[in-house]
Amino acid sequence: MAAATKLRFRFLTYSKFSQFRKLTKKECNRNEIGKRFQHTVAGDRDVDSTEENRFGYDHLYPGHIPTSTLQKWLLSVGSAGMAIVDPYRDDMIATFGETAGSTSLKWMHKKMMADPEGQEVLRDRPVINTKTITIPYLGSLPEGTFGRAYWQFLKDNKFSPDARLPVHFVDDPELMYVMLRYRQLHDLFHTLLGMPPNMLGEVLVKWVEAFQTRLPMCITGAMFGAVRLGPKDTSKYLRTYLPWAIRNGRQAKFLMGVYYEKHWEQDLDELRRDLNIEPPPIPLVRKKN
Predicted confidence (pLDDT) per residue in 102-144, tens digit = 999 999 999 999 999 999 999 999 999 999 999 999 999 999 9
Examine residue 250 and state whether it is found in any structural domain, yes or no.
yes
**Among 33-42, 65-74, 151-160, 256-265, which stretch is predicted with the lowest mean pLDDT?**
33-42
Q: Which residue has the higher pLDDT, 285 or 162?
A: 162
Q: Which residue has the higher pLDDT, 108 or 15?
A: 108
Dihedral, 64, 70, 75, 78 alpha carbons, nearest 10: 180
What share of the chain in percent tops pLDDT 70?
78
155 lies in which domain range? 68-274
Examine residue 102 and state whether it is found in any structural domain, yes or no.
yes
Please report which confidence band the pLDDT of residue 17 belongs to, taking 50, 70 and 90 as the band edges. Answer: low
Averaged pLDDT, 91-112:
96
Q: Is 247 helix (H, G, I), strand (E, B) or coil?
A: helix
How much is the pLDDT for 121?
98
How much is the pLDDT for 99?
96
- Residue 8 CA to residue 14 CA, distance in Å, equals 15
Cα distances (angstroms) measured from residue 173 to each of 44, 118, 225, 270 = 13, 17, 31, 34
Examine residue 27 and state whether it is found in any structural domain, yes or no.
no
Q: How many independent structural domains does the chain possess?
A: 1
Examine residue 19 and state whether it is found in any structural domain, yes or no.
no
Please report which confidence band the pLDDT of residue 43 belongs to, taking 50, 70 and 90 as the band edges. Answer: very low
Q: Which residue has the higher pLDDT, 131 or 24?
A: 131
Strand partners, 173: none
Averaged pLDDT, 87-110:
94
How much is the pLDDT for 283?
75
10 Å Cβ neighbour count for 198?
Answer: 13
pLDDT at 204 over 70: yes
Tell me the pTM.
0.81
- Residue 121 CA to residue 151 CA, distance in Å, equals 22
Averaged pLDDT, 225-254:
94
How much is the pLDDT for 37?
45
How much is the pLDDT for 88?
80
Examine residue 164 and state whether it is found in any structural domain, yes or no.
yes
Residues 249-259: tens digit of each pLDDT: 999 999 999 99
Contact 272, 192 (CB under 8 A): yes
Examine residue 55 and state whether it is found in any structural domain, yes or no.
no
Helix axes 90-100, 69-85, angle to 10 degrees: 140
Examine residue 233 and state whether it is found in any structural domain, yes or no.
yes
Averaged pLDDT, 158-175:
95
10 Å Cβ neighbour count for 246?
Answer: 16
Question: Which among 222, 212, 238 is positioned nearest to 112, based on CA atoms?
Answer: 212
10 Å Cβ neighbour count for 289?
Answer: 2
The DSSP line for 168-204 is -S-S-HHHHHHHHHHHHHHHHHHHHHT--SSHHHHHH
pLDDT at 47 over 50: no
Examine residue 24 and state whether it is found in any structural domain, yes or no.
no
